[in-house]
Structure 1
Amino acid sequence: MKLQESNSELNKKAENIAFLFEELKKKERLKTKVLSIASHDLRAPFASLQSLLRLEGLAGMSREELEMFFELLQVEVQKSSTLLEEVLLWTESQLRNSTESREIFDVNDQIEYLLNQFKCDLIRTGIRICNNIPVRTRVNFSKDIFSFVVRNVLSNAVKFGYKKGNIILNEITREEQLCGLVVLNEGEQLPEDFIEELNHPDIWDHKKRISKNGAGLGISLCRDMIKRAGGNLFFENKKGIGVAVNIIFSENKSGFLNQLNRKECADVM
């Protein structure tokens, strides 16, 4: 009986070690992908600047041409700066348990701050963002992870949204009483098989196997970080409306604090 108990205990430990080993391999693969893509993307603004400096007849360029070039350069620098911040945040979360640090903050204050980063894109595309989150809604969550995930989701919504279309931010109102947000992109729904791909636990590896490209890294990072903080992220079609990204902060509705009356739907930009 003692031998059987010892064997059973050893088997449990072996299974746990095997599980941890597989998780470690996944983290190592993701780290390699993050660094390789970041190193590529962070070079973009420098390459543009070098091209500008090598241009012959720079002095002959019109004011409009120079303004357009520097506007594009500014966008690239901003995106690279954001990418660098996110990679550093994700790297820090792997080295420490900083993703578990929580604080109480105002959701709308943070969303307004994030939306300012898309001001140029919103003006250029004519996309309107309608924020339906109740005023003075506060949440007990990691502010860094909140910003990381919501910024990436909004960036994709603006990037793939229709010109002069609408992006709607709602509080999740599900029967499960989850604490979270929904970013709804009005327009065409996605094929169900593509929704399944987006919701795949390891979307980066999965999409690379089936399409031979690196799409899905941002979603992988978002899902990795929000799960480490006890949340979740998933996509779904909304019939007759468009595609919704559900960002779950907690499985308990009490994660939201001090909600007042709901804001009227209005254009943010």
Structure 2
Amino acid sequence: MFTLSVCLLTHNSARLLREVLPPLIAVADEMVVVDSGSTDETLEICREFGITPFYHPYSMHGMQMNVAIDRAGNDWVLCMDSDEILDEQTVNFILALKAGEEPAKNKAWRLPRYWYVLGEQVRTLYPVSSPDYPVRLFNRQNARFNLRPVDDKVEGNVQSEKMPGHVRHDTFYTLHEVFNKLNSYTTRLVKYSPVQPSIMRGIISALGAFFKWYLFSGAWRQGRVGAVTGLYATLYSFLKYFKSWYQYPHTKQLKSEQDVDSQTQSLQK
């Protein structure tokens, strides 16, 4: 037997929170909610369920998850976002897991996460296919979230297995949210990761994304929602290069000047 802390991140999460919390409370020996400054009813809903959230300003998802993990009172943690809803099969699996012998510290489990866009289940959402299986239940002594600006994941000395079930990842509920997150993710990527500033590379990448994530993936069969996911992939692939080109227009010139200086110094030696 072992005890489990559920670590949940929230930010203006009122839309789904009354669906998200009950299955998490069912498996949790402790609820750790870290909020990054909600202005809707998120905090009030948490208090309805007897939960007092902690405040921590948001920087990156992985860092925020690690803040929640550090506040947990148990080594075994289940890390969740506020748009992910556990189904009965997954809840029952976790309860049975907790009731058995405590696993080895290097064991971990991956969540069966099915993606929903604008209320409809999709087959892909750049850059992942649905379902995907992120590691979410693990011993914090052996693993942590990395600090990638986008698409972070759990890393460490773990051997992971898939959980059964169908976890609903109800993301991008409105078109406004689609484009807002598109802008946020690409800006964060350019800020924290090296992206070569190149308009031509952006155009080529966008064309490749359109064919792969809209035509070849079969997203076109899903009508308007498929068009949204295809457009998202295309714009994401273009914008990360365009924003880098716009933000760092002199990168190539500076690198060229540095190379010239380096060669000049070598000749002078």
Q: Per the shorter chain, which TM-score range?
A: under 0.3
Structure of greater relative contact order (alpha carbons < 8 Å, 6+ residues apart)? 1
Instruction: Please report the TM-score for the alignment, with normalisation by the length of structure 2.
Output: 0.22
Instruction: Please report the TM-score for the alignment, with normalisation by the length of structure 1.
Output: 0.22
Normalized per residue, which structure has more helix?
A: 1
Normalized per residue, which structure has more strand?
A: 2
